[in-house]
Amino acid sequence: MLSYRHAFHAGNHADILKHALLTLALQSLQKKDKPYTLVDTHAGAGLYVLDDERAEKTGETKEGIVHLLDVAAAASESGLSGAWKDDVPASLKPYLELCRGYAAQGKYPGSPEIMARNLRSQDKLMLIELHNTEIDVLRVNMKKSIHDGRLGIHHRNAFEAVDALLPPDPRRGLLLMDPSYEVDSDWTNTADALVKTHRRWPVGVLCLWYPLLQHRESEIALLKASLREAAAATPSSFLCAELLVDSPEREAGLYGSGMMVINPPWHLDEQLKEMLPYLSRVLTESGEAAGPGKGSWSVELEAV
């Protein structure tokens, strides 16, 4: 039941969507001096090695962030240094700059590391991870980034943890939930947890990643309906963005992924509309999914 290890998929197209959006949301929070709390419910290891044998086995890292950095770099530069090409969207550059710094060390930052990089002296970070092996790696990795009382690491079930630990103090902040969806109950547990969390923490920016899989269309629809209804009840704005790197008719496997956000930061929808066409084009240039017409994207905002 706990077989999922993110090292196989670190830096793939799903990570790129999730972490590029996360970077923009964190930048928005930092526009005010008021403290905030960041919460990652499925933290994983926090930091990954680009040439890890697990990443090499799937090829997803090479087809994802490694390919993106190479394509985005100016012709006279490499993906590890220098300027970006003129067609790279401004909204994508903060994420690319972050990844380039880690790639120069042969690494890729997971969401805990990205959050840690955006933590100020007055802010707090709460990381939750259940996997017995991942939690130990997470503790080692995060101690290299944070050495004080701003960090809390919790070895427990994410859905139980959000019920026990939220709302946080400071109340201003952001939560990222990205389950592996390796068991059927993840879909309903995710919906229930986020609906309840929004009710108890209505000011929080709640971000949910979900996979696009042909055989999970009904679960995805129910997940969207649950979060949309929860947002409307407050009322709060609701954003849904999807990035596809293959056709939805693909018989098996991940053909893309999406992000739902309750209380999205101002202008996030516009930034994504600038960024996603570029990512859709670039990320369908490599790998088995490569080919014309494979990639697509969408951004929907229900504002209040």
Domain ranges of the chain: 6-29+42-302
Closest CA to 300 of 266, 278, 272: 272
Per-residue pLDDT of the chain (304 residues; tens, 9 = 90+): 455 556 677 889 999 999 999 999 999 999 999 999 999 999 999 999 988 777 566 678 889 999 999 999 987 777 777 789 999 999 999 999 999 999 999 999 999 999 999 999 999 999 999 999 999 999 999 987 777 889 999 999 999 999 999 999 999 999 999 999 989 999 999 999 999 999 999 999 999 999 999 889 999 999 999 999 999 999 999 999 999 998 887 666 889 999 999 999 999 999 999 999 999 999 997 655 455 557 899 999 999 8
Give me the catalytic one of 15, 40, 178, 269. Answer: 178
Active site residue 148: no
Q: Distance between CA 225 and CA 5 in Å, rounded?
A: 29
How many Cβ atoms from other residues are within 10 Å of residue 215's Cβ?
Answer: 8
DSSP assignment of 51-75: T-HHHHHH-HHIIIIIHHHHHHB-T
Q: Which helix (H) or strand (E) holds 156?
A: none
Q: Distance between CA 251 and CA 260 in Å, rounded?
A: 24
Question: Residues 172, 37: contact at Cβ < 8 Å?
Answer: yes
Q: What's the distance, Cα to Cα, between the start and end of the chain in Å?
A: 40
Structure tokens at 69: 């950095």
Q: What does the CA dihedral 268, 272, 274, 276 come to, rounded to 10 degrees?
A: 170
Question: Residues 230, 195: contact at Cβ < 8 Å?
Answer: yes
Give, as one character, the DSSP assignment of residue 202.
T
- The alpha carbon dihedral of 98, 101, 103, 106 has a sign of negative
Mapped onto helix, strand or coil, the DSSP state of residue 212 is strand
Q: Distance between CA 116 and CA 46 in Å, rounded?
A: 10
Question: Residues 227, 295: contact at Cβ < 8 Å?
Answer: no
**Dmax (CA) of the chain:** 52
Domain 6-29+42-302 falls under CATH 3.40.50.150 = yes
Structure tokens at 55: 């990443």
Q: Distance between CA 156 and CA 103 in Å, rounded?
A: 31
